[in-house]
Chain A
């Protein structure tokens, strides 16, 4: 097993070069890495070869299968959930193999940690904006090795020097003799050659695919309805279930009266587990009608009085009286003289609300189990099914599927666990589909945070002391307890708080752990640790700039002089946005934020308008991005655009609240999403860079919050330190709301007159 989650943030190997290297990458890496050499482990396992090779003639490693017909199948270690991962991975492999992207067939990897573990996460998982960062080496090596073997086989057949051979679109040529062979024609011969230890990858100047806005490999089937997501699959003899778990976290099922449900046409069965009930029908509609007709008695359990108010009271208490764990200490923050400022930030629980509701088809048989689902953690789905059914892991097959959004939700296999628990009670394949209401009520929520932050400004206005105490629950503690630091630190909780782009002479960052009550589950959410910390850090930097009487962008620029890449994106965004140029109307403001999450550098400037009544309108946004080499610049731009909207959605509307131990939101009516009419003009500018790729999928979301809130401050002078945005706090004055009422009255009166 290559599972690395049981190895803590390693004091044991302080000088391990791989660890140092990976630490520089940022993001979830710090949380999960503990590999010292994980890439090597993966490489070795992969080189052992064709566990998943099937009938392919040539399978030099876990990722590449070449048939004698020339078909090239690429097995993707990271799953596609919209972020363009398949296209990015295929591009890296195709680049080194000199193939066109249209010539490759992409496949989901089977559950197999040995072959497909992500070395940056130490697990077969897609997350933490790590795919391109780890594949940049792993897959280019795999592709280069495959090409070397195929070319070597052709050269041997022709008895020529392989260096004299060229490849274009999978055809090997020896120009001098005019001979050529397709990959398929030498696949059998190539399979007999020893896999080389190390092959030189292409130089950037030779890139034919990397850096071009190639069309994604997965989108054609997404515009005509032909591509199937997990929820679309139908297997023979399956029945469809929909579920209701106890709305109160940690509650239990007591009794179910199904007499009314049995009258529903298409009703099949009612299934029970300790905290949930499933209605099974011939189709979803029958199942849903039957579920709604059940009379269910719940034991609401120990959290029946739990509430959001209690949660924040507990977090504030923990922050004041809990035991802080040191995250970063530079100099001494005590006794520093100057202008002192402090603030408290509070961030809500958040749901993922993937467009495709949670679902899985599970068929449990005496001799094995098949699971069809879209998951970011296929090997964990096998684990949980094995545990529940008692079947051997090797008899459990996960058929991974395209996902209608992940955002971290499908890093948690609880829906699969639940589906297995129901499916093992029946002989037929059971397709379980959650309603949207179930999806909102039983998510793995982004943690709530309570941050106390303080700074002391020197005579020049720059911070000479910076203190940041974070109080929160821990995702890592349940997701990968073995990866917690020996001192109890959750490195995700302080990511981008301990490592800010600025240099402060005295700095103290610490974390206080506060566990949620039993049954309230926390999860990774797009942007993970940085999405919380960058909001607090960049909002507070804005507060400091204003306290120092400086332009917030100029203030940041002064303190980024030793950080050229951060400075680069700041200056680029300022130029493109026309920062400081022209004048803005009343109650329109611009906000800036800069950060370096996931190994990339971003600066985002938002221009927002606030109506006298406190309604917020985004007018324009400019993002400058330095993510190193952009494997597909079109996808990078798309991820930043979409990531920003994902973040602004939460800023504008979202916050999961709990009353009587249950979530108060239900569906998109009360857990709102930003819509097209609220979307601002949006520019993304990429810095031309030769650095190795950084992560990109979560970066826009991280930047969205502080850039918007700083714009709201610039527009109104009101500093908001929590979300969703409190419109009441942004109302211009007592007369503003009256104005709306008067206008409405006038319109009503006018309408009446018009009719008369």
Chain B
């Protein structure tokens, strides 16, 4: 039996030592928020935190985890930074298909926890291990900047609870998203 600390809970699993953490999470424990994308640490969809550091769980043998705390997308919202990242992701509407976004959010949360005000170059370095096939990179950058600065750095979505009254007629539909302009 291997004992893991996952999202603050102790979990015992009866699996081979060399089984990657990804499959322990997904297929044994049932935490499916962490995704399988490539199996060779090329895409970052499987990113989780090990004592706060972003790692690729698809190539991490479960026996190597030891007593380190594992945090997954299901648990990252418990931290202040993680929650802010998730909110910024919604406010800017980063997500398209969403399949890679668990990994993107885990990488972003690890970056911001370690470096609360990252430069653009630091954002690029920290996030370049995460592929997004839908191409949401522009908004990932913006969302990280939004968390770092506390400022609205891009157009925000309207919450859907907004009362649905007709807008004044002749409403301007022009919607401009300018990278890097606050």
Bound together, the chains give a CA A681 to CA B124 distance in angstroms of: 13
1/0 per position for B133-154, CB-CB distance to A under 8 A? 1111111110000000000000
Q: Once the chains bind, are B155 and A213 in contact (CB under 8 Å)?
A: yes
Shortest CB distance A382–B (Å): 24
Q: Once the chains bind, are A355 and B164 in contact (CB under 8 Å)?
A: no
Chain B residue contacts of A211, Cβ below 8 A: 167, 171, 173
Shortest CB distance A705–B (Å): 14
With contact pairs A82-B98, A220-B90 given, residues A645 and B178 touching in the complex (Cβ less than 8 Å): no
Shortest CB distance A754–B (Å): 23
Please tell me which one of the listed residues A234, A285, A687 contacts residue B19 in the complex, with CB atoms under 8 A apart.
A285
B176 within 8 A of A: yes
Q: Once the chains bind, are A219 and B137 in contact (CB under 8 Å)?
A: no
Binding site secondary structure of chain B: loop
Chain A residue contacts of B162, Cβ below 8 A: 100, 214
| Count of residues in A whose CB is under 8 Å from the partner chain | 93
With contact pairs A207-B167, A685-B176 given, residues A405 and B134 touching in the complex (Cβ less than 8 Å): yes
Residue of B nearest to A264 (CB): B16
B10 within 8 A of A: no
Binding site secondary structure of chain A: loop
Chain A residue contacts of B139, Cβ below 8 A: 638, 641
Bound together, the chains give a CA A636 to CA B176 distance in angstroms of: 11
Q: Once the chains bind, are A102 and B160 in contact (CB under 8 Å)?
A: yes
Chain A residue contacts of B38, Cβ below 8 A: 436, 667-668
Bound together, the chains give a CA A356 to CA B171 distance in angstroms of: 39
Q: Once the chains bind, are A404 and B161 in contact (CB under 8 Å)?
A: no
Q: Which one of A51-59, A245-253, A670-678 contacts B?
A: A670-678
Q: Once the chains bind, are B39 and A629 in contact (CB under 8 Å)?
A: no
Q: Once the chains bind, are A208 and B166 in contact (CB under 8 Å)?
A: yes
With contact pairs A218-B98, A223-B89, A225-B34 given, residues A669 and B40 touching in the complex (Cβ less than 8 Å): yes
Residues of B20-76 at the interface with A, using a CB-CB cut-off of 8 Å, are 20, 23, 26-28, 30-40, 42-43, 45, 72-74
With contact pairs A226-B74, A284-B27 given, residues A215 and B33 touching in the complex (Cβ less than 8 Å): no
Q: Once the chains bind, are B97 and A676 in contact (CB under 8 Å)?
A: no
Residue of B nearest to A217 (CB): B160
Please tell me which one of the listed residues B125, B131, B175 contacts residue A673 in the complex, with CB atoms under 8 A apart.
B131
Q: Once the chains bind, are B93 and A638 in contact (CB under 8 Å)?
A: yes
Please tell me which one of the listed residues B28, B33, B34 contacts residue A226 in the complex, with CB atoms under 8 A apart.
B33
Residues of B86-131 at the interface with A, using a CB-CB cut-off of 8 Å, are 86, 89-90, 93, 95-102, 105, 123-125, 127-128, 130-131
Chain B residue contacts of A681, Cβ below 8 A: 179-180
Bound together, the chains give a CA A125 to CA B15 distance in angstroms of: 41
With contact pairs A284-B26, A685-B174 given, residues A436 and B39 touching in the complex (Cβ less than 8 Å): yes
Chain B residue contacts of A646, Cβ below 8 A: 133-135
Shortest CB distance A95–B (Å): 8
A353 within 8 A of B: yes
Q: Once the chains bind, are B166 and A637 in contact (CB under 8 Å)?
A: no
A28 within 8 A of B: no
Please tell me which one of the listed residues A224, A283, A629 contacts residue B28 in the complex, with CB atoms under 8 A apart.
A283
Please tell me which one of the listed residues B36, B127, B174, B175 contacts residue A433 in the complex, with CB atoms under 8 A apart.
B36
Q: Once the chains bind, are A641 and B135 in contact (CB under 8 Å)?
A: yes
A81 within 8 A of B: yes
Chain A residue contacts of B33, Cβ below 8 A: 224-226
Q: Once the chains bind, are B30 and A234 in contact (CB under 8 Å)?
A: yes
Please tell me which one of the listed residues A81, A224, A433, A645 contacts residue B137 in the complex, with CB atoms under 8 A apart.
A645
1/0 per position for A67-102, CB-CB distance to B under 8 A? 000000000000001111000000000100011111
Bound together, the chains give a CA A36 to CA B122 distance in angstroms of: 56
Bound together, the chains give a CA A497 to CA B7 distance in angstroms of: 55
Please tell me which one of the listed residues A215, A288, A405 contacts residue B97 in the complex, with CB atoms under 8 A apart.
A405
Please tell me which one of the listed residues B23, B89, B95, B177 contacts residue A637 in the complex, with CB atoms under 8 A apart.
B177
Chain B residue contacts of A635, Cβ below 8 A: 93
1/0 per position for A208-245, CB-CB distance to B under 8 A? 11011111111110111111110110100000100000
Q: Once the chains bind, are B134 and A688 in contact (CB under 8 Å)?
A: no
Q: Once the chains bind, are B160 and A101 in contact (CB under 8 Å)?
A: yes
Residues of A377-409 at the interface with B, using a CB-CB cut-off of 8 Å, are 402-407
A689 within 8 A of B: yes
Bound together, the chains give a CA A226 to CA B173 distance in angstroms of: 33
With contact pairs A208-B166, A219-B95 given, residues A354 and B133 touching in the complex (Cβ less than 8 Å): yes
Shortest CB distance A517–B (Å): 29
Q: Once the chains bind, are A645 and B135 in contact (CB under 8 Å)?
A: yes
Shortest CB distance A351–B (Å): 11
With contact pairs A207-B167, A355-B43, A687-B174 given, residues A225 and B102 touching in the complex (Cβ less than 8 Å): yes
Chain A residue contacts of B169, Cβ below 8 A: 205
1/0 per position for A632-670, CB-CB distance to B under 8 A? 011111110111111001000000000000000001110
Shortest CB distance B177–A (Å): 5
Which of A220, A644, A679, A686 gathers the greatest number of chain B CB atoms within 10 Å?
Answer: A679
Q: Once the chains bind, are B179 and A214 in contact (CB under 8 Å)?
A: no
Which of B40, B140, B176, B177 gathers the greatest number of chain A CB atoms within 10 Å?
Answer: B177
A682 within 8 A of B: yes
Q: Once the chains bind, are B43 and A668 in contact (CB under 8 Å)?
A: yes
Chain A residue contacts of B160, Cβ below 8 A: 100-102, 214-215, 217
Chain A residue contacts of B171, Cβ below 8 A: 207, 211
1/0 per position for A249-279, CB-CB distance to B under 8 A? 0000000000000000110000000000000
Q: Once the chains bind, are B130 and A676 in contact (CB under 8 Å)?
A: yes
Bound together, the chains give a CA A637 to CA B94 distance in angstroms of: 11
Q: Once the chains bind, are A669 and B42 in contact (CB under 8 Å)?
A: yes
Bound together, the chains give a CA A698 to CA B155 distance in angstroms of: 23
Please tell me which one of the listed residues A100, A213, A676 contacts residue B161 in the complex, with CB atoms under 8 A apart.
A100
Chain A residue contacts of B101, Cβ below 8 A: 222-223
Q: Once the chains bind, are A285 and B97 in contact (CB under 8 Å)?
A: no
Q: Once the chains bind, are A82 and B134 in contact (CB under 8 Å)?
A: yes
Chain B residue contacts of A82, Cβ below 8 A: 96-99, 134
B81 within 8 A of A: no
A726 within 8 A of B: no
Residues of A84-128 at the interface with B, using a CB-CB cut-off of 8 Å, are 84, 94, 98-102
A314 within 8 A of B: no
Chain B residue contacts of A66, Cβ below 8 A: none
A168 within 8 A of B: yes
Bound together, the chains give a CA A100 to CA B132 distance in angstroms of: 30
Q: Once the chains bind, are B36 and A284 in contact (CB under 8 Å)?
A: yes
Chain B residue contacts of A684, Cβ below 8 A: 175-177
Residues of A518-568 at the interface with B, using a CB-CB cut-off of 8 Å, are none
Residue of B nearest to A572 (CB): B174
Bound together, the chains give a CA A226 to CA B140 distance in angstroms of: 20
With contact pairs A404-B35, A686-B173 given, residues A355 and B132 touching in the complex (Cβ less than 8 Å): yes
Bound together, the chains give a CA A40 to CA B141 distance in angstroms of: 46
Q: Once the chains bind, are B178 and A683 in contact (CB under 8 Å)?
A: yes
Q: Once the chains bind, are A634 and B174 in contact (CB under 8 Å)?
A: no
Shortest CB distance B76–A (Å): 8
With contact pairs A205-B169, A213-B175, A683-B178 given, residues A265 and B16 touching in the complex (Cβ less than 8 Å): yes
Q: Once the chains bind, are A208 and B167 in contact (CB under 8 Å)?
A: yes
Bound together, the chains give a CA A234 to CA B28 distance in angstroms of: 11
A169 within 8 A of B: yes
Bound together, the chains give a CA A646 to CA B96 distance in angstroms of: 13
Chain A residue contacts of B40, Cβ below 8 A: 436, 667-669
A206 within 8 A of B: yes
Interface contacts beyond A354-B133, A405-B97, A436-B40: sample of 7 additional A-B pairs, CB < 8 Å, sorted by A: A98-B164, A100-B164, A211-B173, A213-B93, A223-B95, A225-B73, A688-B174
Q: Which 6 A-B pairs have the closest CB atoms?
A: A225-B33, A82-B97, A404-B99, A645-B135, A222-B98, A633-B175
Interface residues of B (CB under 8 A from A): 15-16, 19-20, 23, 26-28, 30-40, 42-43, 45, 72-74, 77, 86, 89-90, 93, 95-102, 105, 123-125, 127-128, 130-141, 155-167, 169-180
Q: List 17 A-B contacts (CB under 8 A).
A: A84-B96, A100-B164, A102-B160, A205-B166, A223-B101, A234-B32, A354-B97, A630-B173, A634-B93, A638-B96, A667-B40, A668-B38, A668-B42, A679-B137, A679-B141, A683-B176, A686-B175
